[in-house]
Amino acid sequence: MALVYLVQHAQKEARPGDPGLTALGREQARRITRWLAGRDVLRLYSSPLLRAVETAEVIAAGLGLTVGLDSRLRERVNWDGGLTLQSFSEHWERSVRDRDFVPPGGDSSRQAGERMRAFLQDLAPLHGTVAAVTHGGVTTDLLRTLLGDDQLPASMLRDGNPPCAITTIRVSPDDIRGWRVTAVSSGVYG
């Protein structure tokens, strides 16, 4: 059985495209590294988006690991500046309400949740601890897939996860019904 820490990337710069971390975000990444240091992490994965990669690089340096990129960890849709922020936000909100709505340039909430589930399924045969730096929306999509909306706080559906929030899942190689979400959006914030 694998223990997986899904780590929300640290605070990003407030701009479209593929923004990196802020100075506070780099400090948050150092704090999350200290938190993970005592947890025997054997492998580290990251979304290919810069904010996640930069978070993962700080963790990797602190834990002596290498970062494996996996596109299944990317966000449901990334604001690239092609739409106004208001239009992007409206599409995002619609994709929260309607799990099958596919926003321009992205995946539906259901598609994103399924690709995250597939990522975890690939980790299930491992024995040990894995950390994966990902994004708040797609982590929420995964939790909606695994647990259902009624098991999540309304604030998570509306606001997502704060920077460096950690969701912990035990994945079993035998059956998805053996998976256990043991912590949702907990960990090191601020």
DSSP conformation class of 6: E
DSSP 20-58: -B-HHHHHHHHHHHHHHHTTTEEEEEE-SSHHHHHHHHH
Tell me yes or no: is domain 2-187 CATH 3.40.50.10800. no
- The structure tokens listed for 51 are 């904010």
Q: Could you list the pLDDT tens digit for every one of the 190 residues in the chain?
A: 899 999 999 999 999 899 999 999 999 999 999 999 989 999 999 999 999 999 999 999 999 999 999 999 999 998 888 888 899 989 989 998 999 999 998 999 999 999 999 999 999 888 899 999 999 999 999 999 999 998 888 888 877 788 889 999 999 887 777 789 888 888 665 5
* Domain regions of the chain by residue span: 2-187
Contacts 24+ apart (CB under 8 A), 147-153: 147/181, 152/184
pTM of the model: 0.93
Q: What angle do CA 188, 26, 62 make, to 5 degrees?
A: 75
